[in-house]
Amino acid sequence: MFTDLHALLVVASLFNASVLGAPIVRWVSNPVSGNDTVLMDGEGLASISNSIFVCPPGSSRGCFEQAVIAKNDSTAAFVLPPGIASSSVFEVRTEASGGSVLATVNAPDVYWLTGGANGHSNLAGYRGSESLLVT
What pLDDT is stored for residue 14 in this prediction? 41
Whether 23 and 40 have beta carbons less than 8 Å apart is answered as no
Give residue limits of the domains in the chain.
4-105
Q: What is the pTM of this model?
A: 0.66
Top pLDDT among 121 and 99 is at 99
Is 90 in contact with 62 (CB distance < 8 Å)?
no
pLDDT over 90 at 71, yes or no: yes
Q: Are 101 and 93 in contact (CB under 8 A)?
A: yes
Q: Could you report the per-residue pLDDT of 26-57, keeping only the tens digit for each?
A: 999 989 999 999 999 999 999 999 999 999 88
CA dist 99 to 21, 23, 45, 71, 90, Å?
A: 7, 8, 11, 17, 20
Whether domain 4-105 has CATH 2.60.40.10 = yes
